[in-house]
């Protein structure tokens, strides 16, 4: 696996370029901004982008889609439950940044629990992990023991639930039912901040230790 991380946008989102070494096919996860930066990473590795994946549709994770898609022709996939969130992006940006912007592109297809997104020999398994948003998903590569968790799970923390569409109990159920059953060695690449592992979060995340529902 070729894995490059770049931090984009005013909210410092982790965007990931994930490529297959043999075929040079790639996916981009959460192109929240800085499309030229993302395209440069693809070009540096000689990768051909086939799919744009978003863990969810908050503005800081989607605003680079249009330019990346225009340059590559890649399809854009999102969970259906986050389509209303995607449609609200101009309002989100107006509220958070005080700016006007056009809507992001419409998805070319929708992700569901258990789907597998392929690029060459890579296979990313889709987990539906609502709570931060209704259609939040995580992508799991079981071969390389990697999970791209979006804003569901962070190093030492969890995603916000005090925003429209968020729900604390739903998020905690998603983490406990979908993410923590993964083996301890799986590396977690979150939507913001530093990478971690499932084992580290199981043992030390203050939101996840036994009996600790903090909010």
Total number of domains in the chain: 1
pLDDT in tens, 21-33: 999 999 999 999 9
Within-domain flag for 40: yes
Within-domain flag for 10: yes
Within-domain flag for 213: no
The CATH number of the domain holding residue 117 is 3.60.15.10
pLDDT in tens, 130-176: 999 999 999 999 999 999 999 999 999 999 999 999 999 999 999 99
Within-domain flag for 76: yes
Alpha-carbon gap, residue 165 to 96, rounded angstroms: 16
User: Which range among 3-7, 69-73, 96-100, 198-202 shows the weakest confidence by mean pLDDT?
Assistant: 96-100
Whose structure tokens read 């946008």? 9
pLDDT at 212: 59
Evaluate whether 18 touches 52 at the Cβ level (below 8 Å).
Answer: no
Within-domain flag for 214: no
Within-domain flag for 106: yes
The CA angle 56-57-58, to the nearest 5 degrees, is 105
Domain range spanning residue 128?
A: 2-204
Within-domain flag for 31: yes
Using CA atoms, how far residue 88 sits from 41, 53, 112, 142, in Å, is 29, 18, 21, 33
Within-domain flag for 61: yes
């Amino acid at each position: 696996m070729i894995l490059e991380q770049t931090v984009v946008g005013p909210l410092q989102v982790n965007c990931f370029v994930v490529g297959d070494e043999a075929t040079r096919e790639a996916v981009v996860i959460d192109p929240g901004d800085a499309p030229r930066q993302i395209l440069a990473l693809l070009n540096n590795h000689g990768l051909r982008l086939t799919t744009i994946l978003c863990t969810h549709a908050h503005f800081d994770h989607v605003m680079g889609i249009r330019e990346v898609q225009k340059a590559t022709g890649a399809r854009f996939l999102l969970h259906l439950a986050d389509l209303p969130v995607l449609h609200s992006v101009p309002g989100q940006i107006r509220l958070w940044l005080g700016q006007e912007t056009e809507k992001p592109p419409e998805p070319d297809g929708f992700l569901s629990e258990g789907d597998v997104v392929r690029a060459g020999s890579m296979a990313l398994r889709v987990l539906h992990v609502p709570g931060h948003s209704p259609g939040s998903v995580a992508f799991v590569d079981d071969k390389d023991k990697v999970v791209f968790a979006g804003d569901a799970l962070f190093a030492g923390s969890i995603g916000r639930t005090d925003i429209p569409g968020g729900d604390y109990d739903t998020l905690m159920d998603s983490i406990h039912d979908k993410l923590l059953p993964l083996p301890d060695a799986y590396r977690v690449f979150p939507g913001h901040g530093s990478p971690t592992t499932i084992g580290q979060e199981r043992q030390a995340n203050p939101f996840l230790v036994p009996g600790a529902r903090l909010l």
